[in-house]
Amino acid sequence: MATLVVYYSRSGSTKTVAAALARGVGGTLRELVDTNARTNLVVAAIAALFRRSARLVGPDYDVAGYETVVIMTPIWVGNPTPAANTFLRTVDLTGKKVLIVALGESGENLGTSSRLEKMARDRGGQVIGVHHIHGLNSSGKAGPSATAEELQGQAQHLADVLREPHSQES
């Protein structure tokens, strides 16, 4: 089962999980690189809030050789990141199993989940799961950040999820 792990990461936590997951399942890792480094967090937050797209560096939307596509994004102000928006608005996921993973400093964010799920379904994907992972605490309000070990553990859990049979749409 060929798996593609596509991710955007500004501060590295999503990258840690994505890289460990791709290693764990023998999949291909593909980073979404935003031409905007998003150093201004207020501007980054506004872009996410207004559900803007990003311009990506050398974008590759081809998922033809893969059975499963994992799409990973941090949560920004209750929304996917602009880079994830661009990917999900462009890619053709017809016939693909799609696992969505959102990282945030707090717990589950049902609004972000359902938005990501709808975006993947709108592109023809069969969503086999939506997972939330505790990432880095960037605001100082949500308790400690996840450790590198915890992020690796989450990747292991996701690898186990991908190994389960997914014959029916969830």
Ligand X SMILES: Cc1cc2nc3c(=O)[nH]c(=O)nc-3n(C[C@H](O)[C@H](O)[C@H](O)COP(=O)(O)O)c2cc1C
Task: Show the CA angle centred on residue 120, arms to residues 31 and 150, nearest 5°.
Answer: 50
Please say whether the beta carbons of 80 and 108 come within 8 A: no
Pairwise CA distance, residues 30 & 108, whole Å = 25
In the complex with ligand X, which residue's Cβ is closer, 66 or 76?
A: 76
- The least CB distance from residue 95 to ligand X, in Å, is 29
In the complex with ligand X, which residue's Cβ is closer, 13 or 113?
A: 13
User: In the window 39-98, what residues touch ligand X (CB under 6 A)?
Assistant: 41, 44-45, 74-78
For the record, the structure tokens of 114 come out as 């359902």
Name, in order, each residue with C-beta under 8 angstroms of 142's C-beta and a sequence gap of 6 or more: 105, 106
State which residue has the least CB distance to ligand X.
135
22 binds ligand X (CB under 6 A): no
Amino acid at 139: S
12 binds ligand X (CB under 6 A): yes
156 binds ligand X (CB under 6 A): no
- The least CB distance from residue 71 to ligand X, in Å, is 13
Measured CA to CA in angstroms, residue 125 lies from 76, 113, 147 at distances of 23, 15, 32
- The least CB distance from residue 139 to ligand X, in Å, is 7
**Which residues are near ligand X by CB under 6 A?**
9-15, 41, 44-45, 74-78, 103-106, 109, 135-136, 138
